[in-house]
Amino acid sequence: MKNILKAAVVAAGLLASSYGHAQSVGQDVKKTAKKVGNKTAEVASKGASSVVDKKYHGKAGPNNETIFIDKNSAYYYINKKGKRVYIPKDQLRDKVE
């Protein structure tokens, strides 16, 4: 009887520790998938913008991002999540090489 009880306690301990480890691995996978998705969206948006819209040479965004000009003459840059961030012309700064 003691051996069965010991085996049950060990099995329960292993099950609990593996469940906790699986949760942390799942969170790591979710975090990595989000990073990969954001980078993919950023690259795709930049590629599409460079084909469709004009680049504004000599000016940059707040963190030295490339500035694009759309068909309505609005200035924008692509952020880390692949979204367009429109910016007024007076907030543009000179490009740092």
Residue 69's CB is within 10 A of a number of other CB atoms, namely: 16
Burial (CB count within 10 angstroms: exposed 0-12, middle 13-18, buried 19+), residue 72: exposed
Residue 20 pLDDT > 80? no
pLDDT band at 96 (very low <50, low <70, confident <90, very high): confident
Between the CA atoms of 50, 54, 57 and 60, what dihedral angle is there, to the nearest 10 degrees?
A: -70
Give CA–CA dist 33/30, Å, rounded. Answer: 5
- In this predicted model, what pLDDT tens digit does every residue of 29-64 receive, in sequence order? 888 889 998 999 999 999 999 899 999 999 999 889
Contact in structure between 42 and 81 (CB atoms under 8 Å):
yes
Whole-number pLDDT of residue 17 = 59
